[in-house]
Amino acid sequence: PKESPLMSLVSLQNVNGSWALNAALAALLGLTEAEARGKMPAQVSLGTWATVLAVLWLHARAAGQRDEWELLEAKAQGWLRANAEPQLAECVDAANSLLGCSVSPSLFGL
């Protein structure tokens, strides 16, 4: 049987809570890797960009399964806080635009 998109996303999360921007993550998000990289704000690391994209996807596309990914998100949020970049708000705006969603930046404590 085909793995659910949520389980695919879970399997791509790194042990530290982040995600890497690669072809598998981009495909899950409905993008090519080039499209995902092309919309990444300047001076944002690939890990931050990929992690923000993954967290926004969870809120926009898997909201009904929140109980299944709450801890996954908490780990990602912890990683983002530890590796926070000044451009995080810009990153969230760009990710919302790319994914066609409207998740509030307050989700990231902004």
Q: Tell me: the pLDDT tens digits for 57-107?
A: 999 999 999 999 999 999 999 999 898 778 899 999 999 999 999 999 998
Q: Answer whether residue 50 shows pLDDT above 70.
A: yes
Q: The pTM is what?
A: 0.95
C-alpha 11 chain-centroid distance: 13
Residue (of 25, 21, 23) closest to 46 by Cα position: 21
The 10 Å CB-count burial string (b at 16+, else e) for 61-74 is beeeeeeebeebbe
pLDDT at 1: 64
Query: How many domains does the structure of the chain reveal?
Result: 1
Residue 88 sits in which domain range? 5-108
The pLDDT of residue 53: 98
Cα–Cα nearest to 88, from 58, 57, 59, 45: 45
d(CA 110, CA 105): 6
Q: Which pLDDT value is given to residue 2?
A: 75
Average pLDDT, the chain: 94
